[in-house]
Amino acid sequence: MSKLLSELENILRKNRDLVRVIVRKINDYWFSYMKETGVDHLKIMDFCGTHEWTITHYGIRSLLPRGVELVAGPGCPVCVTPSYYVEELIRLALDGVTVYTYGDVYKLRSHRSVKGFYSLSEAHASGGNVKVVSDLLAAIKDAKLHGKPSVFAGIGFETVAPGYAQAVIKRLIPGNLKLLSLVKLTPPAMFYALEVSQEKPTEPPVKGVIAPGHVSTVTGAKAWEPVAENYGIPVVISGFEPVDVLVSIMKIMEQLVRGKPSVVIEYVRAVSYHGDVAAQSSIWRVFESVDDAWRGIGFLPKSGLRMREDYSDQDAFKEYGIRELSPVDWGYDMPSGCRCAEVVLGKAYPSQCPLFLRACTPSSPIGPCMVSAEGTCAIWAKYGSRDLLLKLSIELKGNIGGA
């Protein structure tokens, strides 16, 4: 069955006729919308880093009408983890604690140096204990072998939280390893990004949202209902194939024309209205939501997960006396000149940053958006800047009949 599904996906992905029909439909909706409303420029936010990857990798922007912009949102957990926590991890690594981390966090630069070091990779090169792992289970396996004080940097969105929760509930984590939960919840960030997008009447507003597919498998479509209800903005939860994204854009445009914003699931093969209820209940058993800081943005209400008191024996905050960042001592924590804070809110493209592909490159990242494979700057650096895409757009539009 799964082989059949993957063959079907391949056929769909390569079906040019289907793509032509969808693109034509998007254009039809757009012209109707312009005629009815007089609006000639709007933005659609693709929240998730993996969607931004699909959009940029497959040149989807080049297939859209000129007035429809796709902008990335804050859907890269590494990009929005405050520098303060990176600094705390560097400090632990230099103090002899083994720090387990994902590969992209390893290269993430802090805003301030810790004993002259700006990243876990720099600390590691100078003798700090840092190990790159693929997940918490790999850290558990390794920590059991050496038995020394260790911490796992638990960075991610709702998608990683059920795995962490299960490991905590089942007491799979050995006594020498502690979990530093830096998990973030995505809906508050989306609401914030939408509010910011409405602030400047001179800029085209965000009129549609492509909601994250992976996160929605856990949260369910219901998590995005406030976007449609409170902001009057259509939401489509999309899969990750280029055809998925195009269909999602088409469904947003359709809703705009009909004037009835709602939450639509395009990614029906993985997402339901209620989501994974068992995963949600294990998350809330272990974690509680807290007001949390997002790098370059500041504190967003109820946007982070920390471990409940019942599990404090497994909590790295408690074990190592790591102080929580508070709104009083949070300060703007982006490197000088870096426009990442605007990039993650859909207010700037990476190519509008003066450092993009000059001082800041994937091999030598300055800002957090250039570090992770889900970071918008890293994606654009690899697959093309806006100028390049615009050139391609003109060529492709010619090839598909001036759509």
Q: Shortest Cβ distance from residue 371 to ligand SF4 (Å)?
A: 8
Output b/e per residue, 150-170; b: 16+ Cβ within 10 A.
bbbbbbbbbbbbbbbbbbbee
Rounded Cα distance, 186 and 289, in Å: 12
| List 154, 208, 296, 367, residue binding ligand SF4 (CB under 6 A) | 367
Q: Shortest Cβ distance from residue 70 to ligand SF4 (Å)?
A: 17
Rounded Cα distance, 389 and 59, in Å: 7
**Cβ distance to ligand SF4 smaller for residue 189 or 355:** 355
Applying CB under 6 A, does 114 fall inside the site for ligand SF4?
Answer: no
What does the angle CA 201 – CA 204 – CA 207 come to, to the nearest 5 degrees? Answer: 110
H or E element in which residue 155 lies: strand 150-156
> Which three-class secondary structure state does DSSP give residue 274?
coil
Applying CB under 6 A, does 355 fall inside the site for ligand SF4?
Answer: yes
**Cβ distance to ligand SF4 smaller for residue 57 or 302:** 57
**Contact at 8 Å (CB) between 369 and 378?**
yes
Q: Shortest Cβ distance from residue 339 to ligand SF4 (Å)?
A: 4
Applying CB under 6 A, does 102 fall inside the site for ligand SF4?
Answer: no
Q: Please report, as residue ranges, which positions from 331 to 350 form the binding site for ligand SF4 (by CB under 6 A).
A: 338-340, 343, 350
Whose CB is nearest to ligand SF4? 367
Q: Shortest Cβ distance from residue 117 to ligand SF4 (Å)?
A: 20
**Contact at 8 Å (CB) between 24 and 246?**
no
Sheet-wide strand order for 150-156: 130-132, 98-101, 150-156, 177-183
Q: Shortest Cβ distance from residue 82 to ligand SF4 (Å)?
A: 15
DSSP for 330-356, written as a single string: ----SPTT--HHHHTTTSS-GGGSTTB
Q: Shortest Cβ distance from residue 366 to ligand SF4 (Å)?
A: 4
Choices 140-148, 198-206, 363-371, 392-400 (CB under 6 A): range interacting with ligand SF4: 363-371
Does the CA dihedral 156-160-162-168 come out positive or negative?
negative
**Cβ distance to ligand SF4 smaller for residue 57 or 258:** 57
Other CB atoms within 10 A of residue 206 CB: 25
Q: Shortest Cβ distance from residue 357 to ligand SF4 (Å)?
A: 7
Applying CB under 6 A, does 183 fall inside the site for ligand SF4?
Answer: no
CA-wise closest residue to 392 among 1, 60, 30, 16: 60
Applying CB under 6 A, does 180 fall inside the site for ligand SF4?
Answer: no
| List 153, 221, 353, 403, residue binding ligand SF4 (CB under 6 A) | 353
Q: What residues make contact with ligand SF4 under the rule CB under 6 A?
A: 338-340, 343, 350, 353, 355-356, 360, 366-367, 369-370, 377
